[in-house]
A and B are shown apart, each in its own frame.
Chain A
Amino acid sequence: MTFLETTLFVIAIYIVLVLVRVILGPTIWDRLLGLNAISAKIIMSIIILSLITGQSYLLDVALVYALLGFISTVLIARFIEKKGDIS
C-alpha cells in the first residue's frame, strides 16, 4: 500500500469510529456532531481519492460537498433548537 492508500484506509477507520458515536450517542446533538464530522471526513477522502486516481474532476465533487454539506446540519440543529419550527 502506498502512503495515500494508507491514509484513505485510516480515514475510513475514523469514519467507522465516528459512526459509533452517531449510533450510540445519548442525545440528538451527539448524532448531529457525528454527522458533521463524517461529512468532513468524506470530503477529505474524496480529495485523497482524487489524488490516488489522478482524476481532477473528483475535486469538483468535494467542492460541491463542502459548499452544501453544512445545510443539512444547520437545518437539523435549527429544527431541534426552535422546537419544530424551521422557518
Chain B
Amino acid sequence: MIEDIFLITLVILAIIALNTKKLRRAVVYLGVFSLVSSFVYLLYGAPDVAIAEAIIGSTITTVLYLVALRKYKVFSIYYTNDSNFQDIRLLKSESPFLYNLETFLVKREMEPQIIYSREPIETVLAQEKFDLAIHHTDQDIWIYGCAEDYQFDAVEDYLLTNHGDLNLHLMRCAEGEDNEA
C-alpha cells in the first residue's frame, strides 16, 4: 500500500522532470525524486544504498547541476526587421543599438549569438527557442523576452538607461513559453 504510493510518486516525478521547460525547475524535481527514491530504498530494506542516495543524489548532484546551469551561457538573439536582408556585420555598423547590446552581453560573460531571421516576428515567437527576439521597424524596436529570465532584467536596465532615446517596447512572454533556463 505505502510502497504503491511512493512508487507512483516516483514515476510521476520522473516524467515531470523530463518534460519541464525550465532547467531550474528540473533541478528541484530531481531533488524531490532522489528524496523519495531513497525512502523507497529504505522500504525495500537497503539502508546503505539509501544513505548513499541521500548524500550523492540530493546534495552533490544538486550542487553540480547548479554549477552547470551557471556555465550555461549561450544567449541567442533573433533579429527581424521590415527591410530586406542585410549582412549582419552591415547591420551592426548601421545600428549601434545591436552592437552595444552585444558588447554588454559579452561583458556579462555571455556568448551572444545573433540570428537574422526573415520570418515575420510572430513565427519566430511561436517556433524558435530564443532568449531575446528583436523586431526592428522604422520607428520602433520591439524586444521580446521571458518574464522569468534574469538576464532579460539586466538587458532591460541597460537598454533603458543607455538607449532611452529610441522607441523601445519591451515585451515579456508569459511563463511556460518556449524559453529555457
Residues of B within 8 A of A26 (CB): 175
Chain B, Cβ-Cβ closest to A58: B47
B9 at the interface (CB under 8 A from A): yes
Residues of the A chain whose Cβ atoms lie less than 8 Å from the Cβ of B1: 9
**A75 touches which of B47, B55, B62 (Cβ 8 Å):** B62
Query: In the complex, what residue of chain B is closest to A55 when comparing beta carbons?
Result: B47
The segment from B20-28, B119-127, B158-166 that touches chain A is B20-28
Q: Give the docked Cα–Cα distance between A1 and B28 (Å).
A: 34
Q: Which of B34-42, B93-101, B134-142 contacts the other chain?
A: B34-42
CA distance A49 to B3 in the complex (A): 12
Judged by DSSP, the binding face of A is helix
B58, A69: Cβ atoms under 8 Å? yes
Given contacts A61-B50, A61-B51, A64-B51, contact A42 B59 (CB under 8 A): no
Taking CB atoms, residues of chain B closer than 8 Å to A46 are 39, 42
Is there contact, CB below 8 Å, between A80 and B24? Answer: yes
CB distance from B22 to the nearest CB of A (A): 8
Q: Which residue of A lies closest to B66 (CB)?
A: A79
Cβ–Cβ contact A22 & B42, under 8 A: no
Find chain A residues with CB under 8 A from B70 CB. Answer: 79, 84-86
Q: Which residues between 1 and 48 of chain A lie within 8 Å of chain B, taking CB atoms?
A: 5, 8-9, 12-13, 15-16, 19, 22-23, 26, 28, 31-32, 34-35, 38-39, 42, 45-46
Which chain B positions have C-beta within 8 A of A72?
31, 58-59, 62-63
Q: Give complex CA distance A80, B9 in Å.
A: 26
B28: which of A12, A31, A42, A49 is its contact (CB, 8 Å)?
A31
Max count, chain A CB within 10 A of own CB: residue among B31, B69, B150: B31
- With both beta carbons as reference points, the residue of chain B lying nearest to A68 in the complex is identified as B59
> When the two chains form their complex, are residues A22 and B24 in contact, meaning their CB atoms are under 8 A apart?
no
A64 touching B35 by the CB < 8 A rule?
no
The complex places the Cα of A49 from the Cα of B46 at a distance, in Å, of: 13
Chain B residues with a Cβ under 8 A of chain A: 1-2, 5-6, 9, 12-13, 16, 24-25, 27-29, 31-32, 35-36, 38-39, 42-43, 47, 50-51, 54-55, 58-59, 62-63, 66-67, 69-70, 148, 150, 153, 175
Residues of chain A having any CB pair with chain B under 8 Å:
5, 8-9, 12-13, 15-16, 19, 22-23, 26, 28, 31-32, 34-35, 38-39, 42, 45-46, 49, 55, 57-58, 60-61, 64-65, 68-69, 71-72, 75-76, 79-80, 83-86
